[in-house]
A and B are shown apart, each in its own frame.
Chain A
């Protein structure tokens, strides 16, 4: 990040301090605060989904953008978080199907640590590998967990999933739930930002750029990879915990490779090289999906075409491409 840029205006100063994420974050935040004022509940609902999946994609990018490893099984932790919350939720709710606020919040709290535990076990094996082997092993573990949840009917209700996750009355209002989600996602993002700007965050970047050399700095490569794997899994668990009460149900598909692919897609669209890229990717992916599905059943075809175009013509994603332009401009006029 350039620190000597001569600041002209707040956007330029934010860029100098935080890179492309600097000017984009306030814009995203302003848009997020404005969503509930749009007419009808539809966009508030979509907005909640944007936030939850955005957090999920940002947690994925801790592995991909910062550590340089691509995981095709990251949804396992999203799903484990969602199921942990859903199962405690079900156990705590009354016979009338209602749940108290305290019990509701408690059930949300249990998602992330259970996801972290799953990430610790799976990560222990995955961090022994890098590149395509890391990707394939994460995929295999993700599918394994999917299959366990899918088949273990007595414990997880199998392919029926878990229904009836109706939050307390206050949170049933879509605007209230939206702001609740926004607060949690913003707080989680702030913590993630701190981590990415810490010595640990930069140690991850050294692993991404040159793993062998990182070892010669005195960095314990596997220990750092494992710690980051657990952190990424934990934040995916936060997103997963929010999902159940939002959609009122969970199903095994949440753990599957299709769900993992969504994080990859969002990150590629928004840009893996910047902190908020995956969130922007979620804005585009989720909103586009909502609109396209209103008119056609060809959503996979649509998103496939978009990904193809991005990978071919804007390989850094949207923010990566804009960032490149800005840097080229700055290089031309000193």
Chain B
């Protein structure tokens, strides 16, 4: 097997006296599509914050694509190829949808220090592609803050994809979406994974989505990984049922 694209070893994080990430070892192969599950407060979002440099780990190492990215600030982690979409959509509310995506494209092009280039034309083609990919063409001129919740989440995804990631982190990508929107969003994620070999790691509370769209699951509980395996293995596991799955009707 080739070396993993993401290798996390001995990751630790404390918030005050609370141990939110306990000795986490985690690895992903390129092209994998996995989910992290676990009850509220299990440390899923913190784990993503650690991977993307938003929080600094207290101990442990994060190696991505063969290079140590532990402790790098978010903007440098992004440039190494890890993009993320947020659980609560985090967009640029006073800019239009196309301006949102365009700004992300231009950041990816590292063009944001070009003071005298025209923002309207630079990266226009790539912006169009992202809008089309996420089904946002019709909303291009809408001010992002006025979008419906589902559209905000799609814009969130478009912004993350504009970063041309090799690893895409999605924190509850379908939260706040209608069933149809959720289905089309996850179909898009599957397509990106299949066609572009994009490595995807997502968290999700909807077990239907998790079991249908992840090929590997990691169960997190109180900051610790207590189980990793295929959906079938996790479903059959008694501990998993006790700490998490039991809460959900399967």
Whether A218 is near chain B, meaning CB under 8 Å from some CB there, is: yes
Q: Is there contact, CB below 8 Å, between B112 and A200?
A: yes
Task: For residue B85, give the distance in angstroms from its CB to the closest CB of chain A.
Answer: 9
Q: How far is the CA of A121 from the CA of B15 in the complex (A)?
A: 34
Interface string of B103-117 (1 = CB under 8 A from A): 110111111111111
Q: Mark A207-227, 1 if CB is under 8 A from B, else 0.
A: 011101111111111011001
Contacts of A208 in B (CB 8 A): 94
Indicate whether A334 reaches chain B with its CB closer than 8 angstroms. Answer: no
Bound Cα distance from A206 to B102, whole angstroms: 11
With A199-B106, A199-B122 as contacts: A221 and B75 at CB distance below 8 Å: yes
- Out of A2, A202, A212, A221, name the residue touching B103 (CB < 8 Å): A202
Among residues of A, the one whose C-beta sits closest to the C-beta of B95 is A205
Interface residue? A203 (CB, 8 A): yes
Provide the main secondary structure of the chain B interface: loop
Within 8 A of A (CB), among B61-113: 73-75, 78-79, 83-84, 86, 90-96, 99, 102-104, 106-113
Q: How far is the CB of B101 from chain A (nearest CB, A)?
A: 10
Binds B, one of A52-60, A158-166, A190-198: A190-198
Supposing A198-B119, A216-B74, A219-B75 touch, asked if A2 and B90 sit within 8 A by C-beta, the answer is no
Q: Is B163 positioned at the interface, with any CB of A under 8 Å from its CB?
A: yes
Q: Does A296 contact B (CB under 8 A)?
A: no
| Interface contact B91-A224, CB-CB below 8 Å | no
Number of interface residues of B (CB under 8 A): 41
Interface size on A, residues (CB 8 A): 32
Q: Is B233 an interface residue (CB 8 A)?
A: no
Whether the pair A206, B103 counts as a contact (CB closer than 8 A) is: yes
Q: Is A212's CB under 8 angstroms from B107's CB?
A: no
A197–B84 alpha-carbon span in the complex (Å): 27
A154 at the interface (CB under 8 A from B): no
Q: Is A6 interfacial (CB-CB < 8 Å)?
A: no
How long is the Cα–Cα vector from A231 to B116 in the complex, in angstroms? 13
Q: Is A102 an interface residue (CB 8 A)?
A: no
**Contact: A198 with B79, CB < 8 Å?**
no
Measured in the bound complex, the distance between the Cα atoms of B73 and A212 in whole Å is 11
Residues from chain A with Cβ under 8 Å of B113 in the complex: 199-200, 223-224, 227
- Supposing A3-B141, A210-B90, A210-B91 touch, asked if A197 and B107 sit within 8 A by C-beta, the answer is no
13 A-B pairs with CB atoms under 8 Å apart are: A2-B141, A203-B107, A206-B92, A210-B92, A214-B92, A215-B75, A216-B74, A216-B83, A216-B84, A217-B108, A218-B78, A218-B107, A218-B108
Given contacts A199-B112, A205-B103, A216-B75, 9 further A-B contacts (CB under 8 A): A195-B115, A197-B120, A198-B114, A198-B117, A199-B109, A200-B115, A203-B107, A215-B73, A227-B113
A residues with a Cβ closer than 8 A to B are 1-4, 194-195, 197-203, 205-206, 208-210, 212-221, 223-224, 227, 231
